[in-house]
């Protein structure tokens, strides 16, 4: 009996969650409470995946021992103790902590934090009130499911409402909402990921799709900049009406401090216009509204700018791959000399121009097989005899068991038959419908029809956006090349004339020293 495997999983999972948060977050600028809450939420989510196999092995061993103890024959135990075995009370307590902490964070704390950060109010109470209002729909869906389950218990003969039932309703409602999202996302990913991997091995496909994405991001970036400019103009007009003795001066200062200095100078905002008296003074409600608009506009502008830079880097790299693919030198050459290289040029050529295509193909085949297994298992999971689900068959090869601690503690679905016998069995079959819709690109075509253009091979507007993206990338590359040439000329000028200037300075210093020495000697001799 050892807890080494469990401790290793706990430590490695924490390192994984912390590493991902460090990569995609900004630890130095983030609030400590926000960082801690997000870290715990991610950590516990990953912990379920890594610890679940240990729980299964311990459950198999426990049921084997119970089966032997149920017989009256005294024989030597044939049950093999798992190397990761821990006491039976460890996993139930662990799952209770993980599950209910995740419930508290994902349904209450994190949504409130997100809305609190976007609120335009100037007090803590006002921000909390705004956050609760913004999450009304989110909480309303949860309460609606809870209400349906309460009505079911009230009208179902033989069921009485008690503490255990209330706990079951809370967990059932959240799991039902999660299953709704899971079926939609899973139905899309099971088809789109294998197809994207397969098409990525096709020469030119990734580049065409990247051009399309650049064109779309460019439109979003322009709209975000225009929206931010409009908000800044409104702030400037409001600031010209609010004087230092105005009751709303402190709130106006809070709004002004949110504006980055590179976008709008603070002294320009604070200066009152000559016609300020003829303008209507802002109210607290209008300041709250413009404050919220500013927070959203700054966030959107920064997000679009980051996406723009990342998309440009990806397109430039894909263009380099396309160009080097036809090179006979078998050495990878980047367009810009300052591009960091992790490998030697020769290895990078073989990796990017040859090996990646085979890896994409292999990944597409593996993901396609796994997707087919998942869809088949979702369709046949309800059938217990004979067992048709592939994952159930694989599990039964080791031990025929369905009594896992995670189901006992996290789900409690056996308490409410409307969930365990109906929704949880038949709703996952909708994965097949989502998979078929994704395979025939029904969602993408529908979004394109209503104005949200998607990447479609047989669409004229897609081809126009690809050409537009190609032109935008060419323009950006010329701009960067001019910047590099300017920096190179400046560096050459510094290298060429910097030493000469330094020599002239040294010579002037020596001459000044000689003059001072001669003057000192003349004065000394005259004395």
401's CB contacts (< 8 A; 6+ apart) are: 59, 60, 63, 395
Q: In degrees rounded to 5, what are phi and psi of residue 15?
A: -65, -40
DSSP secondary structure code for residue 381 in this structure: T
Q: Using CB atoms within 10 Å of the CB of residue 194, give its burial: 0 to 12 exposed, 13 to 18 middle, 19+ buried.
A: buried
Per-residue burial over 143-153, b if 16 or more Cβ lie within 10 Å, else e, is eebbeebbeeb
In whole angstroms, give the CA distance from residue 336 to residue 480. 9
Question: What are 390's two structure tokens?
Answer: 């592939």
First to last CA, the chain: 100
Measured between alpha carbons, how far is 17 from 40 in angstroms, rounded to an integer? 8
Return d(Cα 402, Cα 385) in angstroms, integer: 14
- Which pLDDT does position 64 carry in this prediction? 76
Q: What is the pLDDT of residue 344?
A: 84
Between CA 191 and CA 372 the distance in angstroms is 9
Give the model's pLDDT for residue 308.
Answer: 93
Number of Cβ atoms within 10 Å of the Cβ of 220:
15
Query: How far apart are the C-alpha atoms of 491 and 517, rounded to whole Å?
Result: 38
How many CA atoms are closer than 13 Å to the CA of 44, on its beta-carbon side?
A: 18
The reported pTM is 0.77
C-alpha torsion angle, residues 16, 17, 23, 28 (rounded to 10): -130
The CA distance from 321 to 334, in Å, is 9
Dihedral sign of CA atoms 376, 405, 82, 15 in order: positive
Query: Which candidate, 88, 134, 429, 494, places its Cα nearest to that of 292?
Result: 134
Q: Phi and psi dihedrals of 262, rounded to 5?
A: -75, -15
* pLDDT value of residue 272: 44
Mean pLDDT by 10 residues, the chain (527 residues): 80 94 86 90 89 80 75 64 80 87 86 90 90 81 73 68 66 72 87 92 87 92 92 87 85 88 59 47 89 93 93 92 85 78 82 90 95 88 76 66 40 48 67 85 71 65 85 89 79 68 62 66 59
* 144 to 170, 178, 276, 416: CA distances (angstroms): 11, 14, 51, 16
Residues whose CB is less than 8 angstroms from the CB of residue 245 and which lie 6 or more positions away in sequence, other chains included: none
Q: How far is CA 90 from the centre of its chain?
A: 32
Q: Which pLDDT score is estimated for 161?
A: 64
């Amino acid at each position: 009996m050892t807890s080494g495997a469990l401790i290793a999983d706990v430590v490695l999972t924490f390192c994984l969650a912390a590493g991902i948060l460090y990569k995609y977050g900004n630890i130095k600028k983030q609030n400590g409470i926000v960082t801690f809450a997000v870290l715990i939420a991610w950590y516990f989510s990953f912990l379920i995946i890594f610890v679940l196999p240990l729980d299964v092995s311990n459950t198999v061993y426990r049921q084997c021992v119970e089966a032997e103890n149920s017989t009256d024959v005294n024989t030597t135990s044939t049950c093999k103790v798992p190397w990761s075995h821990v006491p039976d009370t460890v996993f139930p307590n662990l799952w209770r902590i993980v599950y209910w902490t995740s419930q508290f964070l994902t349904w209450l704390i994190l949504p409130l934090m997100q809305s609190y950060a976007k609120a335009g109010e100037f007090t803590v109470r006002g921000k909390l009130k705004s956050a609760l209002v913004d999450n009304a729909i989110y909480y309303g869906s949860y309460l609606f499911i809870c209400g349906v389950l309460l009505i079911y218990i009230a009208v179902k003969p033989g069921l009485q409402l008690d503490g255990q039932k209330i706990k079951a309703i809370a967990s059932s409602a959240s799991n039902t909402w999660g299953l709704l999202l899971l079926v939609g996302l899973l139905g899309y990913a099971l088809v789109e990921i294998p197809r994207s991997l397969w098409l990525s091995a096709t020469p030119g496909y990734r580049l065409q799709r990247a051009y399309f994405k650049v064109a779309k991001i460019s439109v979003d970036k322009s709209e975000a900049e225009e929206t931010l400019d409009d908000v800044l103009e409104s702030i400037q007009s409001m600031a010209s009406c609010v004087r230092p003795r105005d009751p709303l001066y402190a709130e106006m200062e809070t709004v002004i401090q949110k504006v980055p200095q590179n976008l709008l100078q603070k002294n320009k905002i604070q200066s009152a216009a000559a016609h300020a008296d003829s303008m209507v003074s802002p109210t607290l409600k209008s300041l709250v509204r413009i404050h919220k608009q500013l927070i959203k506009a700054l966030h959107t502008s920064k997000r679009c700018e980051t996406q723009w830079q990342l998309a440009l880097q990806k397109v430039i790299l894909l263009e380099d791959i396309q160009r080097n693919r036809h090179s006979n030198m078998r050495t990878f050459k980047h367009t810009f000399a300052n591009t960091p290289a992790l490998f030697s040029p020769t290895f990078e050529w073989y990796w990017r121009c040859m090996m990646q295509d085979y890896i994409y193909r292999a990944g597409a085949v593996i993901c396609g097989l796994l997707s087919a297994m998942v869809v088949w298992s979702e369709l046949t999971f309800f059938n217990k005899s004979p067992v048709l689900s592939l994952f159930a068959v694989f599990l039964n090869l080791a031990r025929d068991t369905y009594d896992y601690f995670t189901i006992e503690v996290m789900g409690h679905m056996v308490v409410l038959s409307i969930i365990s016998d109906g929704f949880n069995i038949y709703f996952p079959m909708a994965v097949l419908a989502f998979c078929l819709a994704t395979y025939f690109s029904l969602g993408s075509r529908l979004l394109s029809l209503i104005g949200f253009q998607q990447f479609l091979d047989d669409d004229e507007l897609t081809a126009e956006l690809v050409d537009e993206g190609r032109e935008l990338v060419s323009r950006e590359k010329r701009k960067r090349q001019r910047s590099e040439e300017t920096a190179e000329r400046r560096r050459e000028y510094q290298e060429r004339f910097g030493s000469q200037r330094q020599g002239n300075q040294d010579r002037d210093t020596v001459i000044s020293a000689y003059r001072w020495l001669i003057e000192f000697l003349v004065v000394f001799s005259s004395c």
